[in-house]
Amino acid sequence: MVDRPFALTSSNLVRGVAGRITTREDGDNPLYPAVNESELLDKTSRYLVNFGAKFSPDIIVASKGLYVHTASGRRILDWTSGQMSCLLGHGHPEIVSVIASHAAHLDHLFSGMVSPPVVSLAERLITQLPPGLDKAFFLSTGGESNEAAIKMAKVYTGKFEIVGVGGSWHGMTASALGVQYHFGRKGQGPTMPGMLMLPPPNAYRSPFRTADGAYDWETELDYGWQMVDHMSCGSLAACIVECIQSSAGMHVLPKGYLAALKKHCEQRGMLLIVDEAQTGVGRCGDLMASTHYEGVIPDILTLSKTLGNGLPLSAVVTSTTIEKVCAERDFCFYTTHVNDPLPAAVGDKVLEIVLRDNLVDHAREMGEILHQGLRRLQSRYGCIGDVRGRGLMAGVEIVSDRDTKLPAFDLARRIGARAYELGVWANLSTHESFGGTFRIAPPITITQAEVEQGLALLEEAFASTDGTMPLFVSA
């Protein structure tokens, strides 16, 4: 039995609406100073399509720094950076300035026109990447960039089969969804032909184990490729993978996995596509998470989310050789917003700030504090089955029994609801395929005090929710 690690004080908690505990600040909202929340919630139900996610019970009227603000006056610590995207926090003043100036003077152009921010972003990005990632172009969403990368691999290799990884999330467009073995595949008939799957690299739950119980990812990966070879019609073009499978529950690729995956691809004449939608641009303590794996350079790298700090911006990066061959074979991914100047200017400023302010190192340092705190929580609450991640990406999986690892979905929902009530938003995946895991990914501008504040609020959520199995002696 141990003591509880975190304390909440009157300095960081005040009583909010209807007696709820909240971390809020009073003040007028310059954009929506007065809204009728109940009326907006009613109109939400009447006019908005349900696209596969439950809407928040609050109307959000402002976002600033690491916080979002509700119409009822509550301030919520945003530990998911919006949709894992606001890498530098909401409303960063330099980003705001870039948006305003380009909205006024250089916003959108004919797709074949070139502008200074597009060239500057390409140069800044490419000069920070290893040789072999030599050329880039820019699109809007992660799904779009993965779609383009898959098409590029097909054009380059002249083949059409694409291998994905169980538990992956790559987007909602046709080919990206075809290799997304997680959620969103139902109700539309067959996906794209030639889509094959490797086992999910889930160290916590995989049945592949060595004699001492350790995760045997090498045997699992070899077995997966044997199945792929059996299923393939002989037209293997590429494999696409995330370095950390966020949507699956923040599962980190084991050391050596990416290198082994690259070797399997080379043996079959395939390209390796690495999707760094959430892991790219410093969040994991490396500028690109793929560079954490020594000597592994993807054939195609895709970026999105973090590159635009919440604006729709994505990138496809590849080698000069692949770009040349694809151009000769009439590769086409012509869209309305390809290489748009305004989002490119934002991406260029994001990279400038990350590099200038040493935010990659900062993310690594704050990540160590975050993970230490989460592991302390694990030592104090028996419902926490696993803590994993790297840098400022973390997963906390909730179980009803640590020995059987039986998921505790209802308990996880109640903990998440309590945390939100207290004033911290840590995304809990409600689909069972996510495994009842909290996904934590705050802006990399977060301070140590803000990390500790969030940990304190999570501690209070666990302490005040029935069924969390405390392992400490109450005071």
The set of catalytic residues is: 169, 242, 275, 278, 305, 439
> What sign for the dihedral angle of Cα 89, 95, 97, 99?
negative
Q: Strands 244-245 and 236-242, how do they pair? A: unpaired
Helix (H, G, I), strand (E, B) or coil at 399: strand
Structure tokens at 88: 């530098």
Query: Could you say which DSSP state residue 305 is in?
Result: G
Are 139 and 151 a contacting pair, CB within 8 Å? no
What radius of gyration do the chain's Cα atoms show? 23
Structure tokens at 396: 């906390």
Name, in order, each residue with C-beta under 8 angstroms of 410's C-beta and a sequence gap of 6 or more.
Answer: none
Say how far apart CA 387 and CA 375 lie, in whole Å. Answer: 6
Helix (H, G, I), strand (E, B) or coil at 395: strand
Say how far apart CA 210 and CA 404 lie, in whole Å. Answer: 18
Neighbours of 1 (CB within 10 A): 8
| Residue 320: half-sphere exposure toward Cβ, Cα within 13 Å | 4
Q: Rounded to 5 degrees, what are φ and ψ at 387?
A: -125, 130
In 3D space, the residue among 271, 308, 280 whose CA is nearest the CA of residue 141 turns out to be 308
In 3D space, the residue among 309, 316, 8, 3 whose CA is nearest the CA of residue 144 turns out to be 316
Single-letter residue type at 231:
M
Angle at 90 between CA 86 and CA 91, to 5 degrees: 130
Please report how the helices 448-463 and 359-380 are oriented relative to each other, as an axis angle in degrees rounded to 10: 20
> What is 260-300 written as a DSSP string?
HHHHHHHHTT-EEEEE-TTTTTTTTSSSSGGGGSTT---SE
In 3D space, the residue among 369, 438, 365, 357 whose CA is nearest the CA of residue 397 turns out to be 438
Are 141 and 304 a contacting pair, CB within 8 Å? yes
Single-letter residue type at 374:
L
Name, in order, each residue with C-beta under 8 angstroms of 340's C-beta and a sequence gap of 6 or more.
Answer: 107, 108, 109, 118, 138, 140
